[in-house]
Structure 1
Amino acid sequence: MITVVSTLLPIVIVCLLLIIIWQYRNARESSRQLGYIHEKLNSIMTQGTRERLLLFSSNQELQLLLTDLNNLLDTNHKGAIERVKLEKSMRNMLSNISHDLKTPLTVVLGYIETIMHDETMSASERERILHTIHQKADQVIILMNTFFDLAKLESGDRDIPLSRVELGEVCRRNILSFYDLLTAKGSEVEIDISDTALYIMGNDEALDRVLSNLLSNAISYGDAGGVLGLKLYSDEQNAYIEVWDRGKGISESHQDKVFERLYTLEDSRNREYQGSGLGLTITKRLTEQMNGTIKLTSQPYVQTVFTVSFRRLRF
């Protein structure tokens, strides 16, 4: 018995030593790999590079950790890009707002100084200037209200209750509100509204604003084509509203930007119709809050179409 124990003891000791050595090497390798991950991760985060963590290991848990970390790096990189775009958008927005506020306020201050210092001014001239001051003040109020409306929409503070709405009635009401203006400008109006009642879950006030913005936009930038159209139709699933014109249109390079905050086509803006650049952004946000979508297609002097679509109700 003693002989057997004496024979097995060295073998057990050797096995234990081998296990200890194996565990020690594994621990050192794990420590080395974790050290690499730590240093590489710090380097990537500090320098903002698009590198990823690459490590060959038979440790499945470590492989899962690397996969999760690389996914996290991808998410962080996308977030960084979005932050840069947002910061640029905010700078442009503040610049444009400052410009659009400065212009009417400068006119207002100039006219006020004229009234204050010109004692020989006639009553009719004073009245004309006061009328202009009133118009410019209205422009500032409209711009600020529009800006705050967008801020509420994007922050989720503005609740839009949805109910059953018939789109034909909404379309007729809105095109009639612009009809006199269009005919006075000599523009042709083409109306194609389905005789079939089309119902959606929407909001009357929000739909009025969506259509008003789209029609105003078409009048402002598409009147060179001499025609404006409004079409309401449907398929089995959705109801569609198209507002179109045959004006100068929007080039392909600009089409993905027209719904951005305060984006305006500077070469097409003029003093008579110069806008804030918020109308289409608000239109998109309102459409989305009613679970709809909006898209743009444009071929200059052929047809520029804004299409709004909503899910149909079958009752």
Structure 2
Amino acid sequence: MMLVLLGISTGGLALVVVILAIKLAQRSQQMNYIHLKLEHLLDQGTYERLLVFSNDAPIQQLLRDINQVLDYAHRTGARYANQEKEMRNMLSNISHDLKTPLTVVLGYSETLLHSPALTEQERESMIGKIHDKAQEVLRLIHSFFDLAKLESGDMELSMTRVNLSELCRLKMISFYEMLTGLGLEVKLDIPEGDIFVQANEEALDRVLNNLITNAMKYGSDGKMLGLSLHHTNSNGVLLEIWDQGKGIPESEHSRVFERMYTLEDSRNRQYQGSGLGLTITKRLVERMGGSIELRSVPNQRTVFSISLKPC
């Protein structure tokens, strides 16, 4: 009587129970399939996604959440694999970069120790070469240490109002003799009025030093080096250092800021840098709230552009 009063017959109730039982069985099967498939994906380490055709809203939401977690895990795994590969390459390059000057130091030291017949001039020459190579090792060690501090966040950069126009003028004056000695024509495009930026002066000086040195090393065959500085339409400050050398192929652009990438395959093989200068430059620029990018058309113009905040 109660069932009839509620508007549900005994047959209707039985049908509801059957439908619920079927749905529960389907959900159980789907959950079991999801469990087995997820277990398989984790064991195999594949980049597949979970696909289950279901009109069950909670199951659909669960699948979306699981696929988001899988995507995140895959991206994290890929980053870890790349970092591990990069670290192996870096350690190999560090070993090579340190081994080369140390081998020279040891070679000359052996000669000085076991060759009493050497003239005073020969001894002075060898001692000078030992000193130069020891300085090279020290510079490498400082570069490794600085990069480690930058990437760990241990290097503090105090931000102040920096006269970038004056800093650029002074830096180019300090390099002028070296640039002309290489036969490079220098082109400057700096406004008469001073341009100020929010930055760390010491870090900015190092950035300029790295980029000018890089242009001298790898772009001197173009016989021209330029520096331009101006405000942008978006109320920023743009600093560009460019050369007209052999340039960098487009396929290499994404790699030039990697640790230990020395550009020897894409530019002048005469120079073998530590491969840390551009990496440190990028980290310093980013720590100052700026950005750096590369544009290069071989034998026409290779430009490193730095965007900074005005002050």
Helix, strand or coil: the match of 1:256?
helix
Q: 1:12 to 1:209 in 2, by over 3 A?
A: same
Superposition TM-score, scaled by structure 2 size: 0.92
Q: How far off its partner does 1:196 sit?
A: 2.4
Pick from 156, 160, 164: which aligns with 1:163? Answer: 160
For 1:262, the equivalent position in structure 2 comes to 260
Check if 1:243 corresponds to 2:256: no
CA-to-aligned-CA distance 1:178-234 (integer Å, 9 cap, x gap): 111112222111111112222221110110011100000000011111111111111
CA-to-aligned-CA distance 1:245-283 (integer Å, 9 cap, x gap): 111111111112111111122243445x42101101111
Letter matched to residue 66 of structure 2: L
Structure-2 separation of matches of 1:222 and 1:248: 6
Q: How far off its partner does 1:99 sit?
A: 0.8
Q: CA RMSD in A?
A: 2.1
Q: How far off its partner does 1:97 sit?
A: 0.9
For 1:79, the equivalent position in structure 2 comes to 76
Letter matched to residue 260 of structure 1: E
Q: 1:25 to 1:269 in 2, by over 3 A?
A: same
For 2:46, the equivalent position in structure 1 comes to 49
For 1:228, the equivalent position in structure 2 comes to 225
Q: How far off its partner does 1:20 sit?
A: 4.4
Check if 1:95 corresponds to 2:54: no
Helix, strand or coil: the match of 1:55?
coil
Q: 1:5 to 1:240 in 2, by over 3 A?
A: closer
Helix, strand or coil: the match of 1:160?
coil
Q: How far off its partner does 1:7 sit?
A: 8.5
Check if 1:287 corresponds to 2:299: no
Alignment of 1:134-149 (within 5 A): 134-149=131-146
Helix, strand or coil: the match of 2:229?
strand
Q: 1:24 to 1:150 in 2, by over 3 A?
A: same
Letter matched to residue 281 of structure 1: T
Structure-2 separation of matches of 1:183 and 1:5: 105
Structure-2 separation of matches of 1:299 and 1:279: 21
Q: 1:105 to 1:5 in 2, by over 3 A?
A: closer
Contact 2:183 2:223 in 1 (8 A): yes
Helix, strand or coil: the match of 1:152?
helix
Q: How far off its partner does 1:125 sit?
A: 1.8
Larger CA deviation: 46-55 vs 32-41: 46-55
Q: How far off its partner does 1:112 sit?
A: 1.4
CA-to-aligned-CA distance 1:50-104 (integer Å, 9 cap, x gap): 2211112232122111001111111212222222211221111111111111100
Structure-2 separation of matches of 1:6 and 1:201: 79
Check if 1:110 corresponds to 2:121: no
Structure-2 separation of matches of 1:220 and 1:7: 94
What is the identity percentage for the equivalent residue pairs of Structure 1 and Structure 2? 50
For 1:69, the equivalent position in structure 2 comes to 66
Q: How far off its partner does 1:141 sit?
A: 0.8
Larger CA deviation: 19-28 vs 164-173: 19-28
For 1:299, the equivalent position in structure 2 comes to 297
Q: How far off its partner does 1:294 sit?
A: 0.9
Structure-2 separation of matches of 1:270 and 1:301: 16
Q: 1:125 to 1:238 in 2, by over 3 A?
A: same
Q: How far off its partner does 1:6 sit?
A: 11
Contact 2:264 2:272 in 1 (8 A): no
Contact 2:3 2:9 in 1 (8 A): no
